[in-house]
Amino acid sequence: MLVLTRKKNEGIIIKGRDGNIRLFLIDTEKGKVRIGIEAPKGYTILREELLSEIEDANRLSAIDNLEKIKKVIGEASGRDET
């Protein structure tokens, strides 16, 4: 991993074929860093922990025994809860 030191109001450019990604150090305070990010079309900017959370949720949702689950869903579909 490339590690760079930046001061407030300094930026970093990641140059790419589709355009540049720009990171900008807006502010730092008590162990927190505010970063501005600009990216070309086609990039989705996400907090890393959100993506991990979604990966985990997907893994926990993956079913290897479909027959068993069909029963659970069948019951849920038939329930009269609102």
Partner 1 sequence: MKQVGEMRLKGKIIGFEELGDYIFDAPFGEESPFRVLQCIDQPVSFIVVNPYFILDDYNFDIDDQVAEELIGRSGEPDVEETIAVLCIVRPDNKTLYVNLRSPIIVNTTKGRFIQVVLQNEGYGVSVPFAIKEK
Binding site for partner 1 (CB under 8 A): 41-42, 44, 46, 50-51, 53-66, 69-70, 72-74, 76-77, 79-82
User: 28 or 52: whose CB is closer to partner 1?
Assistant: 52
Q: What is the arrangement of strands in the sheet containing 32-38, beginning at the earlier edge strand?
A: 11-16, 19-29, 32-38
Tokens at 61, concatenated: 């949702």
User: 9 or 58: whose CB is closer to partner 1?
Assistant: 58
Q: Least distance (Å) from partner 1 to the CB of residue 39?
A: 11
Residue 56 CB partners (closer than 8 Å, separation 6+): none
Residue 61 CA to residue 17 CA, distance in Å, equals 36
Q: Least distance (Å) from partner 1 to the CB of residue 15?
A: 20
Q: Least distance (Å) from partner 1 to the CB of residue 51?
A: 7
